[in-house]
């Protein structure tokens, strides 16, 4: 018996084909001079990091949590203190390793007694996070101070209640004295624990070759990196990955686009159904972003070459594949292998060291 293709299926196929035409037509290569590249970067607020520590403090200043050397030192001490976890084996630095790009390079965070994040979420980088306008994959925390209190309380991370943590630290006379000196209060409070850690995390900005290029050093990055940066600022990447942190400034839908290959049995099956995953990779953990609407905080791309695996559930191990996915599903123009190599060369210029 001859199978008949439903008219709705044909219409849908035509629409998808028309939407795919920009990807099928040849694209003229855009060439920008170094000066034009810097101008394009500035138009997306891609500004260089401060050269010195004083500039870091100024760039991340929060009037609700004014910093001091003593508060920063206390926050650093707490950041590395395993007493913040129930079994005293996990600290903030366990999942946010400063030498490893500010994360733990695991597909999903592992916490108290080896528990994995139930939604298979990995740890975003803490480096440059203070410049972001929201924290966590769904952007539910407004700043690093609020974020610092989340993992402490999560049962699958550090598994401590605020009262338990306050009691533990108040039992240490030396720590209690430090808090009194910094905050002028007699007891350690959970609010002040978050403020101290936040003050320290506000100092974790990094600087590298990208910043030197933006400041006028034409030789700071390679020709390949300049080609990649041109793609980045002209094809739409910088529309979301913006700001001094190169990301973290907004909540965006992902993926924005779908293609014929995203559907199963579309042309000849009587029952049209979407593929199981709403993402162009395996939907490990089932997390669908803010409000289950596929809306995610735009990741910070500084040091992205050191923060594999990629995406919220760590389903993609290679940066090249992450770039391909983003080019296809976000900006609607799938990069060639050569273009991907150039973009990766540019992303490598975003590697940096902590500003001292």
Would you say residue 165 has pLDDT above 60? Answer: yes
pLDDT for 272-310, tens place per residue? 445 679 999 999 999 999 999 999 999 999 999 999 999
Q: How far apart are CA 280 and CA 290, in angstroms?
A: 18
pLDDT for 176-218, tens place per residue? 999 999 999 989 999 999 999 999 999 999 999 999 999 999 9
119 and 314 Cβ atoms separated by less than 8 Å: no
Helices first, then strands: H and E counts in the chain? 13, 6
pLDDT for 38-89, tens place per residue? 999 999 999 999 999 999 999 999 999 999 999 999 999 999 999 999 999 9
Would you say residue 266 has pLDDT above 50? Answer: no
Q: How many other CB atoms sit within 10 Å of the CB of residue 223? A: 9
pLDDT for 104-149, tens place per residue? 999 999 999 999 999 999 999 999 999 999 999 999 999 999 999 9
Catalytic annotation, residues: 157
From 250, 245, 243, 246, select the one nearest 204 (Cα to Cα): 245
Give me the pLDDT at residue 14, please: 52
What domains can you pick out in the chain, each with its CATH number? 24-50+206-354 (1.10.760.10), 61-201 (1.10.760.10)
In this prediction the pTM is 0.89
Describe the crossing of helices 162-170 and 173-183 by its angle, rounded to 10 degrees. Answer: 110
Share the mean pLDDT of the chain: 92
């Amino acid at each position: 018996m001859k199978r008949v293709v439903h008219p709705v299926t044909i219409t849908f196929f035509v629409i998808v084909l028309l939407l795919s035409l920009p990807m099928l037509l040849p694209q003229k290569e855009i060439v920008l001079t170094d000066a034009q590249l810097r101008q394009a970067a500035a138009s997306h607020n891609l500004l260089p990091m401060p050269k010195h520590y004083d500039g870091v403090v100024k760039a991340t200043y929060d009037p609700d949590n004014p910093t001091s050397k003593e508060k920063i030192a206390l926050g650093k001490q707490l950041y590395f203190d395993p007493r913040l976890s129930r079994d005293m084996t996990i600290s903030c630095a366990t999942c946010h390793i400063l030498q490893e790009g500010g994360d733990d390079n695991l597909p999903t965070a592992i916490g108290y007694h080896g528990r994995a994040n139930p939604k298979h979420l990995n740890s975003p980088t803490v480096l440059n996070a203070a410049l972001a306008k929201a924290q966590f994959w769904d952007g539910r925390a407004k700043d690093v101070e609020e974020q610092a209190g989340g993992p402490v309380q999560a049962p699958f991370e550090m598994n401590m209640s605020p009262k338990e943590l306050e009691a533990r630290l108040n039992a240490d006379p030396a720590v209690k004295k430090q808090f009194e000196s910094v905050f002028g209060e007699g007891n350690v409070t959970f609010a002040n624990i978050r403020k101290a850690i936040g003050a320290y995390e506000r100092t974790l900005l990094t600087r590298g070759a990208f910043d030197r290029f933006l400041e006028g050093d034409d030789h700071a990055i390679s020709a390949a990196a300049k080609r990649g940066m041109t793609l980045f600022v002209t094809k739409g990447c910088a529309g979301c990955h913006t700001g001094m942190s190169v990301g973290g400034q907004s909540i965006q839908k992902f993926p924005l686009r779908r293609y014929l290959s995203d559907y199963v049995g579309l042309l000849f099956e009587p029952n049209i159904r979407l593929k199981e995953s709403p993402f162009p990779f395996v939907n490990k953990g089932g997390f669908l972003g803010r409000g289950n609407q596929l809306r995610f905080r735009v990741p910070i791309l500084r040091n992205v070459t050191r923060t594999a695996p990629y995406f919220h559930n760590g389903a993609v191990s290679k940066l090249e594949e992450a770039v391909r996915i983003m080019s296809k599903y976000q900006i609607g123009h799938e990069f060639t292998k050569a273009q991907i190599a150039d973009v990766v060369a540019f992303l490598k210029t975003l590697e940096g060291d902590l500003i001292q």
